[in-house]
Amino acid sequence: MATQYDALNSDHQDFIQRQHIFFTASAAAGSKINISPREAGALRILDDNTLIYLDRTGSGNETAAHMLADGRLTIMLCSYAGPPQIMRIYGMGVSVGWESAEFEELIAQFYDGQTPLGARQIVKLNIDLVQTSCGFGVPLFDYQGDRASLENWHEHQGPDGILASWKEHNLDSIDGLPTGLKLQKD
């Protein structure tokens, strides 16, 4: 049976902090639905109604395009170890671009002042609803560690290669929606 909450409580926050992966889901009118896995080390709880996660360069930028067009964003976490549970966090998301003062403030406050190579934005979710459910159908998995692939790719590309990737793959969604990603500071 699903239970709904207006905000995160301390049990929810403890659950979030124990997870190793989360998923984002987004769409805009007429677009394809996008679901992306994210490493939970990028996720931070600002308060009972706000989450952020540091978003690094990948193969596309669908979530940013959908937030710019529509705003709706869902984050889902599942327990793969310990007691079963699924948590969906619904709300309105915004992209805080790498070039903004707010990005720098969030990096300083929540990421030890360290901006990793390939960081393109911080996604901020203003929470409307938290829903938990049993998670009985979620299998058990053993966490072995984070993959080095993304970090290695960023290092191999370097700043110039990452900028080239942004130009080729991150300015528009697969449906042609703009992502709002800036290539330089204003």
What pLDDT does 158 receive?
97
Rounded-to-integer distance, Cα 106 and Cα 58, Å: 21
Examine the pLDDT at 30 and tell me if it is beyond 90. Answer: yes
**Tens of pLDDT along 78-107?**
999 999 999 999 999 999 999 999 999 999
Rounded-to-integer distance, Cα 126 and Cα 47, Å: 10
Examine the pLDDT at 1 and tell me if it is beyond 90. Answer: no
As to burial, measured by CB atoms within 10 angstroms (0-12 exposed, 13-18 middle, 19+ buried), residue 138 is middle
Q: Residue 53's closest CA among 119, 118, 6?
A: 119
Its pTM stands at 0.96
Amino acid letter for position 5: Y
**Tens of pLDDT along 43-76?**
999 999 999 999 999 999 999 999 999 999 999 9
Contact 78, 58 (CB under 8 A): no
Structural domains in the chain, CATH included, are: 3-136+148-170 (2.30.110.10)
Examine the pLDDT at 186 and tell me if it is beyond 90. Answer: no
Rounded-to-integer distance, Cα 74 and Cα 124, Å: 11
